[in-house]
Chain A
């Protein structure tokens, strides 16, 4: 298993789409935080601190979702189109391990993409105006908690994208489908939830809804547990589902 993870990591580091995404997201983060600083100064407002930039960047991390969708297409599905998946599947490694290694490294890549924007925002703002303080909770604790949750949610979203990429087996289809899926799933739950009440209840227990709660300053007991347990369950369940699909897949 270790060799498979090493191989996937080697590929991720050389993946052009991953490198391009890292560059684009980093540049966006840099420009956005500088723009925010200048904007606040020109308006005569109090400058935004590092922790405030971090908090605002956590709300609807679309950079992470879009980046992950593109990466899913190029990192996972393109291996079917180039035919490399044939040599991976015939390498003598079990299919379960192959897809598990792929999911772990893809999740790692998604975590990197998910963290880049808030981290750069936070670092630049801290350099310009200082880290700042949050009222009502320990700032350090808040930062560590949200960082951990962001990692968990990026991994959970990555596991769903892995399943879609395995099913689609084509870069273009994967990118298009995952983007539509992740960007409109909230709308779907909102619309259907109006007519069927239990759908709304279910939505409250999904990573799609809970992603927006990561940046909340105060998370009471049961919500915090839910915030931690649900992405872990999602990661495991979708991982098992991907393995089940991949084991039965005829690789062409």
Chain B
């Protein structure tokens, strides 16, 4: 049994002369929440569309649940649920009727799953209200309910928090966490709200201009984004001894260039500077540093902004 739910091998998609995807090697571990980050037109949706079987690659291949052949891939997609770009709803049907259509489409026996899924996303009381009269947030939740129908093992969500109010965003996050932790559902989620992804994802993939720049775990990202005090003094060795002795912490690193990265006291830098000065050290540089996901992403793509 493959450890990965999804793997892509040199996945390439060319539209005329433009590379929407350029030899993308992506891998999503079973049980993970994979945050897929990229600007508009970076290639996120193209990759999602290929995985979902809506488009075919120009070159390369994908492996879904360990299956590669076209026939097997089609079967493997039965174990998957998705919201691609926007929730796909029949506007003149109620929430129940929308789910019933998809239940029949997927050949899921029994109607019990409809009520269960509607309750899960909080739409059990929508009655005869048609989907076209739903708020954007309700439409997103109904889209999620459709994706969740039949208990999929892999969820693909393209911008699932679009249109949700702050409470809705929190509820969606909690629901996705619950689905991941309690039901073991692997989730691929693309979102522009990077702070939201930061709170949810266990793994990240950064895509830019069709190229997957980096894949890293949340702990790796945490290390890279960790906030610290950047200190440069006239005697790094003595400063290290003072930090260890006076400030009683070993959470620091002396860098080859003689600067010190202190990972404690980030919120109380005054205490550090006073201690070092009292010890007779001359402070040459002293500043808090570190990045959040947004800053890290911006630095990885070279500071480009959406046009």
Contact = CB atoms under 8 A, between A and B. Distances in A.
Interface in A15-57: 15-16
Interface in B78-133: 78-80, 82, 84-93, 97, 100-102, 104-107
Contacts of B78: 91-92
Contacts of B146: 87
Interface string B129-164: 000000000000000001000000000000000000
B102 A92 contact: no
Given A3-B105, A93-B105, A86 B54 contact: yes
B52 A86 contact: yes
A93 B78 CA distance: 8
Contacts of A92: 74-80, 106
Contacts of B56: 250
A180 interface: no
B289 interface: no
Contacts of B79: 92
Looking at A83, A87, A252, which has the most chain B CB atoms within 10 Å of its CB? A87
B77 A82 contact: no
Interface residues of A, number: 25
A91 B74 CA distance: 8
A6 B82 CA distance: 22
B53 interface: yes
Interface in A87-135: 87-94
Contacts of B54: 86, 89-90, 250-252
A4 B103 CA distance: 10
B130 to A, nearest CB: 10
A170 to B, nearest CB: 16
B80 A87 contact: no
A208 to B, nearest CB: 33
Contacts of B88: 82-87
Nearest to A84: B88
B92 A14 contact: yes
Contact of A84 (B90, B100, B104): B90
Nearest to A74: B92
Contacts of B89: 82, 84
A145 interface: no
Nearest to A2: B107
Where chain A touches its partner, the secondary structure class is: helix
Nearest to A250: B55
A22 to B, nearest CB: 15
Given A11-B90, A83-B88, A88 B82 contact: no
Given A10-B100, A14-B97, A94-B74, A88 B105 contact: yes
A48 B139 CA distance: 54
A11 to B, nearest CB: 6
Contact of B80 (A6, A83, A85, A90): A90
B179 to A, nearest CB: 18
A7 B104 contact: yes
A251 B107 CA distance: 22
Contacts of B97: 10, 14
B77 A91 contact: yes
A15 B90 CA distance: 10
B90 A82 contact: yes
A4 B107 CA distance: 8
B79 to A, nearest CB: 8
Contacts of A93: 74, 105-106
The 8 closest A-B pairs by CB, nearest first: A92-B78, A7-B104, A3-B107, A90-B52, A92-B77, A87-B88, A7-B105, A83-B88
25 contacts: A3-B107, A6-B104, A7-B101, A7-B102, A7-B104, A10-B97, A11-B101, A14-B93, A82-B88, A83-B84, A85-B88, A86-B52, A86-B84, A86-B85, A88-B105, A90-B54, A90-B84, A91-B77, A91-B105, A92-B74, A92-B75, A92-B79, A92-B80, A92-B106, A250-B56
Interface of A: 3-4, 6-7, 10-11, 14-16, 82-94, 250-252
Given A93-B106, A252-B54, 10 more contacts: A3-B104, A7-B104, A11-B101, A82-B89, A86-B85, A90-B84, A92-B76, A250-B49, A250-B55, A251-B49
